[in-house]
Chains A and B, each alone.
Chain A
């Protein structure tokens, strides 16, 4: 389902300062798999996630998702691709703090201009599934870390995407909340979603429902 073919990514900080984030990466993820990318900070895990989500383009190589070369997509198509296929859970949640829980979760639906009833149905469904309904009207800045993450997960699922991407999802959570998140991941896998998690949290290692663990070091797969 997801193929990364000879991927190299170089960040040009300025003309004389270049950082090679990934070097000739080849990666193959099948539909419905849960893949954990392991590696220290700066190893290139997040860059792989960005490439899969089409948030950035590779310097060379190709990213193919569902037989489509998403690494070559122009902006409008890349947006549509993300809208339909990707649910991204960020390390720092990346919620808009001055919006309410409901408003944050609904954000991915806005460009689709959905019927109000359809939007409401989807909203109620994800809020119930991720146990955040009781906080619906609160501003997200007033929520705890765990609650904010549940909002981020609900937002990532509102469009019912095929692929869920999570970047260091437990970095800001205590052990109990981290275990809760792992349970949520398991549920999402059971729903048939393809999941890619980048983490260096040992709680994710050797989980029985994880299909692949891939180690990355200095931009190369080990």
Chain B
């Protein structure tokens, strides 16, 4: 049945034709494979990271309230918590003390988060840490729980059991490592250090009536925007960030970083279209003559075009499959060395998370339709032009 539908001799002829021009065919396959590889890798990496970030975002508070004047952030008064709690629809409001600490030895930033042992935490991962850890167990030496990435960096820089934080006045504060945590999302937690709020206030020299920001929980998720507006009206000097704002912000970061990658992609795309242009702009005298000979000995236009279709399909599909397989290996087995750094590592400490395997059929289809049909068309159209000329004219 298949033999009746597909003329195997035509397929053989197409393969033979590709092999006859082996260097040219090889060049096209290499460029095409590289293009597909780049395009697929970009999509695979961004899909994986967006998936990871989406998980992170879901764990974030519904509303974050910061104090901002002239575009700069200031510590916020803790007494605002009570007034925010009075707004209708607000279920809870918690002040947070957190910030970044630059670790000079490794030239990376850590995210320092302060917790109050006796209060509810604004997210489950922190609650788990607080439940397991007694931050006040040693009155003389404060303790901290660190992410895996932090532990690794500290160990590589002598600090296996503690770290001396440099306070704003230049004095040191020794904090012992009490444990390592592995939170819900590695991207978020990898660079994180959790310690008691009092210890963190000491490191940042933050007064007890101030906080970094306030997180707000709203009973009905549909009312988040309304509550955010009311907070803004109550405190005009505040910057009110909703979960949706964070989503946009994250997506912008990755779209921008995708842009860097896009530049690389455009270069290979340019090469690809040079090949397409070369093919579409016409056939060589030898190729024209071959079509003329085939027609003269009884081949129809249809037969010629079938061979050209098979040629284009074999080359482009082979390269497409190669490119996709290579990018799957590159992204999900090798964890995208070099390229991953373009997309991740926004706080300096490269998170040691694994890119989750997201095989998106839409992505694969998009890559397919951006490459294979274009190449096949560029192969067929010039041959069709020649094949439909008078055979005698082509041979002469």
Which A residues form the contact surface with B (CB < 8 A)? 47, 50, 53, 55-57, 75-76, 79-80, 82-84, 86, 88, 90, 94-96, 98-99, 103, 106-111, 113, 155-156, 159
Q: Are B392 and A50 in contact (CB under 8 A)?
A: yes
Closest to A110 in B: B9
Contact residues in A for B296 (Cβ distance below 8 Å)? 53, 55, 82, 88, 90, 94
Closest to B13 in A: A110
Q: Are B390 and A99 in contact (CB under 8 A)?
A: no
What CA separation (Å) do A142 and B359 show in the bound complex? 52
What CA separation (Å) do A76 and B16 show in the bound complex? 25
Contacts A55-B395, A56-B393 hold; do A113 and B9 have CB atoms under 8 A apart?
A: yes
User: Chain B 293-307, CB within 8 Å of chain A: the 1/0 string?
Assistant: 111111111110000
Closest to B5 in A: A113
Contact residues in B for A84 (Cβ distance below 8 Å)? 298
- The 8 Å CB contact of A99, one of B8, B16, B298, B300, is B16
Contact residues in B for A111 (Cβ distance below 8 Å)? 7, 10, 298-300, 303
User: Chain B 84-109, CB within 8 Å of chain A: the 1/0 string?
Assistant: 00000000000000000000000000
Contact residues in B for A110 (Cβ distance below 8 Å)? 7, 9-10, 13, 299, 303
What CA separation (Å) do A79 and B289 show in the bound complex? 17
Q: Which of B270-322 contact A (CB under 8 A)?
A: 289-290, 292-303
What CA separation (Å) do A74 and B292 show in the bound complex? 16
Contact residues in A for B294 (Cβ distance below 8 Å)? 107
Q: How far is the CB of A200 from chain B (nearest CB, A)?
A: 18
* 13 further contact pairs, Cβ within 8 A, besides A80-B298, A95-B293, A96-B293: A47-B392, A50-B391, A55-B295, A79-B300, A90-B296, A94-B293, A99-B16, A107-B294, A107-B299, A110-B7, A110-B9, A110-B299, A111-B298
What CA separation (Å) do A115 and B8 show in the bound complex? 11
Q: Are A57 and B10 in contact (CB under 8 A)?
A: no
Interface centre among B298, B299, B388, by most chain A C-beta atoms within 10 angstroms, is B298
The main secondary structure of chain B at its interface with chain A is helix
In the complex, B171 has a CB within 8 A of chain A: no
Contacts A55-B392, A94-B395, A110-B13 hold; do A88 and B297 have CB atoms under 8 A apart?
A: yes
What CA separation (Å) do A82 and B395 show in the bound complex? 15
Q: Are B297 and A56 in contact (CB under 8 A)?
A: no
Closest to B387 in A: A75
Q: Give the number of residues in B that approach A within 8 Å (Cβ atoms).
A: 29
Q: Are A82 and B392 in contact (CB under 8 A)?
A: no
What CA separation (Å) do A98 and B289 show in the bound complex? 13
Closest to B391 in A: A55
- The 8 Å CB contact of A75, one of B4, B300, B392, B393, is B300
Q: Are A56 and B391 in contact (CB under 8 A)?
A: yes
Q: Are A108 and B301 in contact (CB under 8 A)?
A: no
Contacts A79-B299, A94-B293 hold; do A56 and B392 have CB atoms under 8 A apart?
A: yes
What CA separation (Å) do A50 and B296 show in the bound complex? 9
What CA separation (Å) do A38 and B294 show in the bound complex? 27
Closest to A156 in B: B297
- The 8 Å CB contact of B16, one of A55, A75, A103, is A103
Contacts A55-B390, A98-B20 hold; do A113 and B3 have CB atoms under 8 A apart?
A: yes
What CA separation (Å) do A156 and B9 show in the bound complex? 19
Contact residues in A for B299 (Cβ distance below 8 Å)? 79, 107, 110-111
Contact residues in B for A57 (Cβ distance below 8 Å)? 390
Q: Are B297 and A76 in contact (CB under 8 A)?
A: no
Closest to B393 in A: A56
Contact residues in A for B292 (Cβ distance below 8 Å)? 94
Contact residues in A for B297 (Cβ distance below 8 Å)? 82-83, 88, 107-108, 155-156
- The 8 Å CB contact of A79, one of B10, B298, B390, is B298
Q: Are B391 and A80 in contact (CB under 8 A)?
A: no
What CA separation (Å) do A154 and B182 show in the bound complex? 77
Q: Which of B369-395 contact A (CB under 8 A)?
A: 388, 390-393, 395
What CA separation (Å) do A110 and B3 show in the bound complex? 13
What CA separation (Å) do A95 and B395 show in the bound complex? 12
Closest to B306 in A: A111
Q: Are B3 and A80 in contact (CB under 8 A)?
A: no
Contact residues in B for A53 (Cβ distance below 8 Å)? 296
Closest to A86 in B: B298
Contact residues in B for A156 (Cβ distance below 8 Å)? 297
User: Chain B 1-34, CB within 8 Å of chain A: the 1/0 string?
Assistant: 0011001111001001000100000000000000
What CA separation (Å) do A56 and B302 show in the bound complex? 18
What CA separation (Å) do A75 and B300 show in the bound complex? 7
- Please provide the 8 A-B residue pairs with the shortest distance between their CB atoms, ordered closest to farther: A83-B298, A79-B300, A56-B392, A55-B392, A50-B392, A55-B391, A110-B9, A113-B7
What CA separation (Å) do A83 and B8 show in the bound complex? 19
Contact residues in A for B16 (Cβ distance below 8 Å)? 99, 103
